[in-house]
């Protein structure tokens, strides 16, 4: 196929949707976008009911994603009876939409935006197939998730090495549309064609081909949202994965990427570490990690005693995860080869 020539799509979208880099179980990860802490991990912090103080309707987060610093403010989505922040459910639905966009002809790039066409039933089937053929959310929950993804707004800053930043103000899904409003409102809408635009970073990543296929079917199996986020992060950035070269990460860095869970200044370090270490245990149970350990750093406290300030974790990958990372590396090489062919054809 000549990737430089398409009646309606740029060659980047042709590469993004090509079956050679969409094997069963894999999805197209977008290296920065996939790892930004867009979602609230704690169920207790998702819903804001009643007449809320405006301060309760926003959350602030920051993280270092590999070598890129990001800061974001999240504004909760207004629903019929409450406001809601995007959480684990919304993360899974968005992952499914990205999978759908990268499969067949559902994804498109026009007018400097990336978009997807879909139906609620298609999302349901995609999540089910990636979840071991077990249904995870009903159509009503999927519909509400789409409204949250569309209604929640983000102010995102992405910083460069000089300290300057690029600002994006948008939702994760904008321009949400359905072909039949009557069917949508009546609830008889499982097959109704829908359409939405992704966040601008999705377009930017596809245009630059900052694409890394990864095992979304494995990500879907985790019960811990923190394990899910670590699996995504390791899949995107641990490219030299091997048992001989364990991955080192600090607790402070890990907490940033998992939405600063238990980051209250009054919490002890061991309390902050519990959900992350529970996630590492699950990563071991799912054959992502073969082993893990940590060393602590200390400083003198006010009483003169040593106070634990941080932990550095050594993550030893499981052979199964090493194999999947090598497969991702091979798929990325296919992407680069197709990009080179397209560049030559365009010259």
Dump pLDDT digits (tens) for 77-133.
999 888 999 999 999 999 999 999 998 778 999 888 999 999 999 999 999 998 888
Q: Given this model, what pLDDT does residue 182 score?
A: 65
Q: Given this model, what pLDDT does residue 66 score?
A: 85
16-40-113-169 Cα dihedral, nearest 10 degrees: -150
Tens digits of pLDDT across the chain (347 residues): 333 334 467 888 888 888 888 888 899 999 899 999 999 988 888 888 876 677 889 999 999 998 899 999 999 999 988 899 999 999 999 999 999 999 877 899 988 899 999 999 999 999 999 888 888 899 889 999 999 999 999 999 999 988 899 999 999 999 888 766 666 656 656 778 899 999 999 999 999 999 999 999 999 999 999 999 999 999 999 999 999 999 999 998 898 887 654 455 567 888 889 989 999 999 999 999 999 999 999 887 777 788 888 999 999 999 999 999 999 999 999 998 888 776 667 65
Among the residues of 118-268, which ranges form H helices? 120-130, 139-151, 181-186, 200-207, 216-219, 225-237, 251-257
Q: Given this model, what pLDDT does residue 2 score?
A: 35
Q: Given this model, what pLDDT does residue 25 score?
A: 86
Q: Given this model, what pLDDT does residue 52 score?
A: 66
Query: Please, is 259 exposed, middle or buried when counting C-beta atoms within 10 Å of its C-beta (0-12, 13-18, 19+)?
Result: buried
Locate 181 and state its tokens: 């409003």
Q: Residue 115: enclosing H or E segment and its boundaries?
A: strand 113-118
The set of residues, in sequence order, having a beta carbon less than 8 Å from that of 95 and lying 6+ positions away, is: 27, 216, 219, 220
Confidence (pTM): 0.90
Locate 11 and state its tokens: 């060659």
> Residue 127: CA atoms inside 13 Å, Cβ hemisphere, count?
21
Query: Please, is 60 exposed, middle or buried when counting C-beta atoms within 10 Å of its C-beta (0-12, 13-18, 19+)?
Result: exposed
The set of residues, in sequence order, having a beta carbon less than 8 Å from that of 3 and lying 6+ positions away, is: 11, 14, 15, 338, 341, 342, 345
């Amino acid at each position: 196929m000549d990737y430089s020539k398409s009646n309606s799509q740029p060659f980047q979208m042709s590469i993004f949707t090509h079956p050679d880099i969409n094997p069963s179980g894999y999805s197209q990860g977008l290296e920065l976008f996939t790892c930004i802490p867009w979602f609230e991990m704690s169920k207790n912090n998702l819903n804001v009911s009643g007449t809320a103080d405006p301060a309760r309707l926003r959350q602030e987060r920051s993280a270092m994603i590999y070598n890129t610093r990001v800061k974001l403010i999240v504004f909760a989505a207004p629903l019929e009876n409450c406001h809601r922040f995007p959480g684990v459910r919304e993360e899974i639905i968005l992952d499914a939409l990205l999978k759908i966009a990268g499969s067949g002809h559902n994804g498109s790039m026009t007018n400097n935006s990336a978009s997807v066409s879909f139906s609620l039933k298609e999302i349901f089937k995609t999540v089910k197939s990636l979840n071991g053929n077990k249904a995870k959310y009903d159509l009503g929950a999927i519909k509400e998730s789409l409204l949250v993804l569309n209604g929640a707004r983000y102010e995102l800053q992405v910083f460069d090495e000089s300290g300057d930043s690029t600002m994006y103000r948008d939702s994760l899904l904008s321009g949400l549309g359905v072909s039949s409003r009557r069917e949508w409102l009546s609830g008889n809408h499982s097959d109704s064609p829908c359409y939405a635009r992704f966040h601008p970073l999705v377009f930017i990543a596809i245009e630059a081909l900052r694409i890394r296929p990864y095992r979304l079917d494995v990500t879907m199996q985790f019960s811990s949202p923190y394990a899910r986020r670590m699996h995504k992060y390791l899949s995107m950035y641990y490219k030299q994965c091997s048992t001989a070269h364990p991955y080192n990460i600090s607790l402070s860095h890990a907490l940033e990427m998992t939405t600063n869970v238990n980051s209250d200044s009054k919490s002890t370090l061991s309390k902050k570490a519990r959900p992350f270490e529970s996630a590492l245990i699950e990563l071991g149970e799912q054959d992502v990690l073969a082993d893990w350990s940590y060393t602590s750093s200390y400083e003198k406290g006010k009483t003169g005693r040593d106070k634990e300030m941080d932990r550095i974790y050594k993550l030893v990958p499981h052979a199964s995860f090493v194999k999947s990372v090598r497969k991702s590396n091979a798929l990325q090489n296919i992407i680069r080869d197709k990009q080179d062919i397209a560049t030559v054809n365009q010259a």
